[in-house]
């Protein structure tokens, strides 16, 4: 198994730098760990030279070479590879959460169906302050979809129902979540172009895992999943291809006191 880029035994965090497909293969071959929960935020393949708005200014939507589309077939095969490997790494009752826009999420849902995974929920993450649509020819994009899937049809997934009621005024929580983009403090040391807010991962891990569980993020980014895992006393393994985002993650992992202890 490849040596960790970063390891923190106290906070139960391991971070590997490299290609996610190759490292997932290594984890499968090692047969040492099965994961209770996986959060995956794969490339959306949106870096196509377009523009958006940020702080009232036009900005490029290009995020990096890793986000450039390689064509429908190659994009599909990439998603098939990482998702099938993640499925193998789940415990029998483990679940995976996958975030994406319409550009990829329907393709991933089809792959999950082909892999005979069990669909649990289709979460709509609604962003209250999205950038405007510059062309004025479409509705403003303000949501992402998060698929919640179990390993297979026989899986008995964990759902911490009382927690979801407690954070929702003692009512059943619906599948539309209104959560703002990452707060300023979450980007203190830098940011990732697709960084997810702390609150989103806080709800996900509190809903579907317990203390001591093993958590995997095959597209670690700025390390938000690892931050929440550490603060919630879970054991975390992250995989990130870009060295600069590994280094950013380490800064976040080493400064956990900045983050709230819960989403309440």
- Give percent helix, percent strand, percent coil of the chain, each to the nearest 5: 30, 25, 45
Q: How many domains does the chain have?
A: 1
Does residue 171 fall inside a structural domain?
yes
- Report pLDDT digits (tens) over 138-170: 999 999 999 999 999 999 999 999 999 999 999
Per cent of the chain over pLDDT 70 is 91
For the chain, percent of residues with pLDDT exceeding 90: 81
Give the model's pLDDT for residue 262: 43
Q: Is 120 exposed, middle or buried (0-12, 13-18, 19+ CB in 10 A)?
A: middle
pLDDT given at position 62 = 53
Contacts 24+ apart (CB under 8 A), 27-32: 27/1, 27/89, 27/216, 27/237, 28/85, 28/88, 28/89, 30/1, 32/1
Q: Is 1 domain-assigned?
A: no
Q: Collect all residues with Cβ–Cβ distance below 8 Å to 144 and sequence separation of at least 6.
A: 99, 100, 101, 124, 125, 127
Instruction: Write the CATH number for 245.
Output: 3.40.50.150
What pLDDT does 116 receive? 98
pLDDT at 133: 83
Q: Residue 249 above 60 pLDDT?
A: yes
* pLDDT given for residue 44 in this prediction: 87
Query: Does some domain include residue 205?
Result: yes
Residue-range definition of the domain harbouring residue 181: 6-258
**What does the block give as tokens for 120?**
């649990």
Phi, psi of 91 (to 5 degrees): -65, 170
pLDDT exceeds 80 at position 66? no
Residue 174 has pLDDT above 90, yes or no: yes
> Is residue 244 in some structural domain?
yes
For the cut 70, the answer to whether the pLDDT of residue 212 exceeds it is yes
Contact 205, 37 (CB under 8 A): yes
Question: 166 lies in a domain?
Answer: yes
What's the chain's average pLDDT? 92
R_g of the chain computed on alpha carbons: 18
């Amino acid at each position: 198994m490849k040596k960790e880029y970063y390891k923190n035994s106290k906070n139960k965090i391991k971070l590997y730098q490299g290609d996610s497909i190759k490292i997932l293969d290594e984890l499968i071959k090692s047969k040492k760990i099965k994961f209770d929960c996986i959060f995956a935020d794969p490339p959306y393949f949106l870096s196509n030279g377009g523009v958006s708005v940020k702080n009232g200014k036009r900005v490029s939507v290009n995020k990096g070479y890793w986000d450039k589309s390689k064509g429908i077939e190659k994009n599909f095969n990439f998603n098939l590879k990482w998702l099938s490997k993640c499925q193998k790494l789940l415990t029998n009752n483990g679940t995976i959460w996958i975030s994406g826009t319409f550009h990829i999420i329907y393709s991933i849902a089809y792959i999950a169906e082909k892999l005979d995974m069990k669909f649990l929920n289709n979460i709509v993450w609604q962003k209250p302050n999205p950038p405007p649509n510059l062309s004025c020819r479409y509705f403003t994009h303000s949501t992402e979809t998060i698929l919640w899937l179990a390993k297979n049809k026989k899986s008995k997934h964990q759902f911490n129902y009382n927690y979801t009621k407690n954070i929702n005024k003692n009512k059943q929580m619906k599948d539309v979540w209104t959560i703002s983009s990452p707060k300023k403090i979450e980007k203190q040391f830098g940011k990732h172009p697709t960084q997810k807010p702390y609150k989103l991962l806080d709800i996900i891990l509190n809903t579907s895992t317990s203390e001591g569980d093993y958590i995997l993020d095959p597209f670690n980014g700025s390390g938000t999943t690892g931050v929440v895992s550490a603060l919630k006393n879970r054991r975390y393994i992250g995989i990130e291809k870009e060295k600069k985002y590994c280094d950013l993650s380490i800064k976040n992992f080493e400064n956990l006191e900045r983050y709230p202890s819960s989403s309440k």
